[in-house]
Amino acid sequence: MATLDVTVRGAGIFGLSVAWACVRRGARVRVVDPCGVAAGASGGIVGALAPHTPERWNDKKAFQFDSLMMAEEFWAGVEAASGRSPGYGRTGRLQPLADDRARDLALARGQEAARLWQGRALWEVIPARGDWAPLSPTGLLIHDTLSARLHPRQACLALAEALRRSGCDVVEEAPDAGAVVWATGVAGLAALGETAGNGVKGQAALLRLEARDAPQLFADALHVVPHADGTVAIGSTSERVFDDATGTDGQLDDVLARARAACPVLADAPVIACWAGVRPRARSRAPVLGGWPGRAGHFVANGGFKIGFGMAPKVSEVMADLVLEGRDAIPEGFRVTASAA
């Protein structure tokens, strides 16, 4: 490869998407990860691209909205370039309403969504119908049309293949060259200092159930995500304290029991795979983006936690702006210094 413009360290969703944005702008890029593609939190199975509630609008919610609206074109481009499906689909989401207060709040949020989502997606209250729905004490559901889904590991593999076909090496070891983007997950947060954030373990399960065109469900604080390959993902736990970073245990059994109780359509679906991993949660709870303080030519893209795949399309663009062109459009609350404050 000719002289590099950018080295990206980390082959998870942020590293791969930043590399892809840079390659599409003509940069010469190499991705380096000693553990391989999607070896960490990005190798999961859930893949819920779900928006924050449309109220109390802030930079984080606006950034996420923009990114979710960019997602269809982003992933279509990746699929076309790689020949691999990331499993993306904007299939929407259903949530139960527990009582009249919840209904009234949902209706108010629907009015806010009409304004904040610019008429490009709906947040509405609808009657519960059919088997594919969570149990709802009111017989009503929130339906939003902004939520989407993909298969995390398949999406990362598609990105890696798109990069390779575009002349970008994805390797386990190589020296730094050019600007360096650190997208190294939990280890990367630790390198920024103990106040930057921490790892939170999640456990999830994959069921064999054909519902590929159905909306995802959110009930009892759990995501139920139908994938394009005839599976349904259930997740996840949020564990601050754990001994085994990648092992599953009784906490996943509880997740499954809660999901089946909330969504009877899952009752007889067999479990075909389980997953556990540690996700990078920044102190600010927003992605950590920008220049690495005190390290000229080094940049950080980290802290995806539960929203990394949904944030990736726009994260990739603002990081490419910064690294390649020196244009800084990163929200204040996303900056490395904000996370460590």
For each of the domains in the chain, give its residue range(s) and CATH number, in order of start. 6-88+147-196+284-340 (3.50.50.60), 198-278 (3.30.9.10)
Q: Report the percent of the chain where pLDDT is more than 90.
A: 96
Residues 152-162: what's their mean pLDDT?
A: 98
Kindly indicate the confidence band of residue 213, based on its pLDDT and cuts at 50, 70 and 90.
Answer: very high
Q: Residue 178 corresponds to which amino acid?
A: G
294 burial (CB, 10 Å; 0-12 / 13-18 / 19+) is exposed
Kindly indicate the confidence band of residue 98, based on its pLDDT and cuts at 50, 70 and 90.
Answer: very high
pTM of the predicted model, to two decimals?
Answer: 0.96
**What is the Cα–Cα distance from 58 to 284, expressed in whole angstroms?**
13
Q: What is the mean pLDDT of the chain?
A: 96
Residues 61-77: what's their mean pLDDT?
A: 98
Tell me: pLDDT of 175 over 60. yes
Contact between residue 14 and residue 312 where contact means Cβ atoms under 8 Å apart: yes
pLDDT value of residue 338: 58
pLDDT value of residue 337: 80
Tell me: pLDDT of 339 over 60. no
**What is the Cα–Cα distance from 263 to 224, expressed in whole angstroms?**
9
**What is the Cα–Cα distance from 139 to 126, expressed in whole angstroms?**
9
